[in-house]
Homo-oligomer: A and B are copies of this chain.
Amino acid sequence: MRAVDIIRKKRDAAELSREEIDFLVQGATIGAIPDYQLAAWLMAVIWRGMSAAELAALTEAMLHSGEVINFSGMPGAKVDKHSTGGVGDKTSLVLAPVVAAGGVKVPMISGRGLGHTGGTLDKLESIPGFNVNLSLGDFRRVLETCGCALIGQTPEIAPADKKLYALRDVTATVESPYLICASIMSKKMAEGIDALVLDVKTGDGAFMKKQADAEYLAQLMVETGTRMGKKVVALITDMEQPLGRKIGNALEVEECVEVLHGKGPDDLRELSLDLSAWMFLLAGRTKTVAEGKALASEMIASGRARDTFREVIRLQGGDQKIVDDTGRLPRAKHQTALQAPRAGFVAAIHCEQVGVASMMLGGGREKKEDSIDPGVGLVLAKKVGDAVEVGEPLCAVHYNAEAQLSNAMALLAKSFEIGDKAPQPSPLIRKIIGA
């Protein structure tokens, strides 16, 4: 078997066999196939797409390129949630303790933020002392002890994805629903879970701007996961404006703590409860989504989710007192506000630009190597549909350095659209796939 023949076959729109895909993925993992051949193949995949059989073979080959965690000896169902990423998208930090407190285990392996989107690991690391770099052994122990564990990618999990993703990033071959599906599902299927709830974002602040693209990706992921014997459901959710009001790492942890205290913004709370409810349902913990949502609410109201959150923070080396005193979280030195240039109603908030503005302040990464400033970020005073007077604050800006402030402020000023009347409210959950 020769890589060049496999590339040619894909280039000419033929279907690759499982053996051919295994050959490529194994070659990528051990370095036997040079990067330039992998890159040509990736671009041919962007061009030609993949059949369902090819996608299944690719996902399985990537999954088996590394270690597949086995939690079958641990009692109870294990369920995870994956989001395709957005701005202010912080539900993981709410639902992990909620679902764990409700008796379902949540072994969660997350990623970092890039560009305008944030990442769960960066948010967790804004909690003083919190260690996301656990070994797989420690991951298991934390999960067994408190019902959830929150770590970053380890070298053992899906090394083929690590290799291919790095190559995709520099060869303009990220944007293929097939490659995205295989990348996400190979990692999630390695977590030792029984079920997976997918939060596929769509809208201005999402990776998939068009709902049809989000639905297509969701469909692929649900089919791929189901074929691999897992229960999978995907929620298509709105990312036309940031989720919640706070954007930035410590600010987002703070907002999650608010929700765990029964407060916080409606949209964040509702989506966190809905995702938790689906996790309970897929785990067999409840019989309906409504029942699951009631259970999730109960975990918050009773304080049990807060207990679990304190516990997981403690077990992972972090300062658990932040759950009761968010003043212990890092905070930016300075604040300023963006003021409304006119009166009216907020018609739109350009979500991607808001994410970029937060990134400019140091809250995110332009390049993978960039470091994060955990305290900086934005607090939206107004969201879409809110009435606003001229000069009233639209958004508080938390910053440490002056350097990028004026650029960030200029971008934010362009991000708020103010109109004469309130727009029609749109639902947060647009569609459910695979239920």
Chain A residues close to B by CB (< 8 Å): 3-5, 7-8, 11, 34-40, 42-44, 46-47, 167, 169-173
- Can you add 5 more A-B contacts, CB < 8 Å, to A8-B172, A37-B171? A7-B43, A36-B171, A40-B171, A43-B44, A43-B47
Contact of A40 with B173 in the complex, beta carbons under 8 Å: yes
Copies of this chain held together in the complex: 2
Report the bound CA distance from A38 to B7 in whole Å.
15
**A36, B4: Cβ atoms closer than 8 Å:** no
**Which of A38, A40, A44, A170 lies at the interface centre, i.e. has the most chain B CB atoms within 10 A of its CB?**
A40
CB distance from A169 to the nearest CB of B (A): 8
A172 and B9 CA atoms in complex are apart in Å by: 9
Q: Can you list 18 pairs linking A and B with CB atoms under 8 Å apart?
A: A4-B171, A5-B172, A7-B172, A11-B46, A11-B172, A11-B173, A34-B36, A34-B170, A35-B35, A35-B36, A36-B39, A36-B167, A36-B170, A40-B40, A40-B42, A40-B173, A43-B43, A44-B47
Task: Give chain B residues whose Cβ lies under 8 Å from the Cβ of A7.
Answer: 43, 171-172
CA distance A26 to B42 in the complex (A): 24
The interface residues of chain B lying within 8 Å CB-to-CB of A11 are 43, 46, 172-173
Q: Which residues of chain B come closer than 8 Å to A35, judged between CB atoms? A: 34-36, 39
| Minimum C-beta distance from A170 to chain B (A) | 5
Best-surrounded residue of A37, A38, A170, A171 (most CB of chain B within 10 A):
A171
Nearest chain B residue, comparing its CB with the CB of A48: B47
Most buried by B among A36, A44, A169: A36
Chain B's closest residue to A3 (CB) is B170
Check B170 against A37 for contact (C-beta < 8 Å): yes
> Measured between alpha carbons, how far is A227 from B11 in the docked complex, in Å?
31
Residue of B nearest to A2 (CB): B170
A11 to B170, CA, bound (A): 13
CA A37 to CA B171, docked complex, whole Å: 5
| CB closest chain-B residue, reference A171 | B40
Nearest neighbor of A44 in chain B, beta-carbon distance: B43
Q: Which residue of the partner chain B has the closest CB to A38?
A: B36
B-chain residues with CB within 8 Å of residue A5 when the two chains form the complex: 172
A60 → B minimal CB distance (Å): 25
Rank and list the top 6 A-B pairs by shortest CB-CB distance, nearest first.
A40-B171, A43-B43, A8-B172, A36-B39, A35-B36, A7-B172
Give Cα A38 to B44, complex, Å. 14
Closest to A7 in B: B172
Closest to A6 in B: B172
Residue of B nearest to A167 (CB): B36
**A4 touches which one: B40, B46, B170 (CB < 8 A)?**
B170
Q: A165: shortest Cβ distance to chain B, in Å?
A: 13
How far apart sit A170 and B36, CA to CA, in the bound complex (Å)?
9
Cα distance A169–B170 in the bound complex, in angstroms: 22
Minimum distance in angstroms from A177 CB to a CB of chain B: 15
With a CB–CB cut-off of 8 A, which chain B residues contact A43? 7, 11, 39-40, 43-44, 47
A4 CA / B169 CA spacing, docked (Å) = 8
Across the interface, which residues of B come within 8 angstroms of A8, CB to CB? 172
Bound-state CA distance A171–B113 (Å) is 32
Q: Which residues of B contact A169 (CB under 8 A)?
A: 4
Residue in chain B with minimal CB distance to A10: B172
Nearest-neighbour CB distance to chain B for A167, whole angstroms, equals 6
A208 to chain B, nearest CB (A): 16
CB neighbours of A36 from chain B (8 A): 34-36, 38-39, 167, 170-171
Q: Which residues of B contact A37 (CB under 8 A)?
A: 39, 170-171
A4 to B172, CA, bound (A): 6
Q: Once the chains are docked, how many angstroms separate the CA of A214 from the CA of B66?
A: 48
- The minimal Cβ–Cβ distance linking A37 to chain B, given in whole angstroms, is 6
| A46 and B36 alpha carbons, distance in the complex (Å) | 15
Which chain B residues border A44 with CB–CB below 8 Å? 43, 47, 172
Closest partner residue, chain B, to A12 (CB atom): B172
| Cα separation A366 to B214 with both chains bound (whole Å) | 46
- Taking CB atoms, residues of chain B closer than 8 Å to A3 are 170
Kindly state the separation between the CA atoms of A242 and B5 in the bound complex, as whole angstroms. Answer: 27
